[in-house]
Amino acid sequence: MRTTVIGSYPFPGWLEYASAHLGEFGADDIREMQDDAVIAAIHDQVAAGLDVISDGEQTRLDFNLSFYGFLEGIAVEPAPPRRFGPPAHDQRGKHAIVGELRAPRGLGAVEEYQRLQRLAPTGPILKASVPGPYTLSGRLVPNRQYPDRWAVTEALLPAVRNELEMLVRAGCKEITVDEPSMSCYAWREDPRRFVDIFNRTVEAVAGRCRLSTHLCFGNYKARAVGPRRYAPMFPAFLEMHADEIHLEMASREFAEIELIGEIARHKSVAVGIVDVKSYYVETPEDIAARVRQCLAYAPPERLSFAPDCGLSQTARWAAKQKLANMVKGVRQVRG
């Protein structure tokens, strides 16, 4: 019963401020700042006692938006279409495609992982997270060359596949291919088409590392973006070439929990046992009770436990305590 994370972690306040004033820093200052932010994220995860840690995605803009900076063939939109009012996904704009979509410098995940390798202590498993091509396609506007989202996805797939190969060559043993858009839109699309895209994305690294994927209904400012039901995805998603499938459960009051038993018959299942959308800090006893609830459906050797989603939208003081209590609760049941 491993304790793990999805990938993102809240930025320290000073990093938020510095990111808005990068023109005042030199290149060496920025590199030092990046190291310091990752050290802070590592510290909080190691102090919590996690079995698997990430770099907290401290050098990214959200979990995926900074990847567009590595793409050729797009015109990055200078400002979102709606800047004021209640937060929603339309406050993150879309970029026009102006040429062939390419990523000749890679997508930056390898550099992130190498920084994590350099700064992390021995002990925890080190995990990298890369958004998949369907999710990345969502913020690009189709054009004559790429007439719909499927065509944009196919154009991005080689870049993501290459990034995964480079991560494995760099020594990465655990990778999450993050495709939340697939779970957000499985209710209206053919889930078998999603499975085909996923499997072609990971085909070069399947069996060479521990592969997981994260099913999520959206978490921008704690707002979902699709019907919060797993039923439309299964049984098709069982055919994904992943070693572990992560399910958001805590924020959904463990609805459809019986699904973890079905997944566990085929592969490992990571259960989102901490609600990142709530500022109620789960106690270790809460966590232990939830772990026992999961054990009624799946054997311990097939279970991992994690927050529902990345922690980037949760204040750091709450994220630290939620992770620490998650580990304590799982350890109670292990004992």
pLDDT tens digit string along 260-288?
A: 999 999 999 999 999 999 999 999 999 99
Q: What is the pLDDT of residue 105?
A: 94
How far out from the chain centre does Cα 194 lie? 17
The residue type found at 325 is N
Q: What is the pLDDT of residue 188?
A: 92
DSSP letter (8 states) at residue 206: B
Q: Using CB atoms within 10 Å of the CB of residue 30, give its burial: 0 to 12 exposed, 13 to 18 middle, 19+ buried.
A: middle
pLDDT tens digit string along 183-227?
A: 889 899 999 999 999 999 999 999 999 999 999 887 676 677 778
**CA–CA separation, 237 and 235 (whole Å):** 6
**CA–CA separation, 161 and 34 (whole Å):** 26
> Residue ranges of the chain with pLDDT lower than 50?
none
**CA–CA separation, 216 and 310 (whole Å):** 10
How far out from the chain centre does Cα 30 lie? 24
Tell which phi-psi region holds residue 334, choosing left (phi > 0), alpha (psi between -120 and 50) or beta. alpha
Closest by CA to 131, choosing from 98, 159, 95, is 159
The model carries a pTM of 0.93
Q: What is the pLDDT of residue 221?
A: 66
CB 225 within 8 A of CB 217: yes
**CA–CA separation, 182 and 198 (whole Å):** 9
**CA–CA separation, 87 and 152 (whole Å):** 27
Q: Using CB atoms within 10 Å of the CB of residue 46, give its burial: 0 to 12 exposed, 13 to 18 middle, 19+ buried.
A: middle
| CA-derived radius of gyration, the chain | 19
**CA–CA separation, 71 and 103 (whole Å):** 5
